[in-house]
């Protein structure tokens, strides 16, 4: 399945989640969004965001200070 990439590296809380929210609103249900961020607070922010909105945080990882979040938009 294809995914859309959103690069928010260098942005601080709350901008990564706000940008992801804007991107997800324009996507079809079930679509995937990969967010790449450098703000360590994004870990807790995306977990809470997905819990509150019903989107699914499928996976997240960190490599060299860069965080990657894979989110599936709710149906």
CATH number at residue 32: 3.30.110.40
pLDDT on residue 2: 81
What is the structure's pLDDT at 1? 66
Taking phi over 0 as left and psi of -120 to 50 as alpha, with beta for the rest, 59 belongs to beta
50 catalytic residue (yes or no): no
Residue of 11, 13, 57, 70 with catalytic role: 13
How much is the pTM? 0.94
Quickly count: other Cβ atoms within 10 Å of residue 17's Cβ. 23
Sequential pLDDT tens for the chain (75 residues) = 689 999 999 999 999 999 999 999 999 999 999 999 999 999 999 999 999 999 999 999 999 999 999 999 999
Domain count, the chain: 1
Place of tokens 């690069």: 7
Owning domain of residue 53: 3-72
């Amino acid at each position: 399945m294809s995914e859309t990439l959103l690069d928010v590296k260098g942005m601080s809380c709350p901008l990564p989640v706000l940008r992801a929210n804007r991107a997800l609103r324009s996507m079809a249900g079930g679509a995937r969004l990969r967010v790449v961020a450098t703000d360590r607070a994004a870990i807790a922010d995306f977990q809470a965001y997905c819990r509150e909105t019903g989107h699914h945080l499928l996976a997240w990882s960190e490599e060299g200070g860069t965080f990657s979040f894979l989110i599936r938009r709710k149906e």
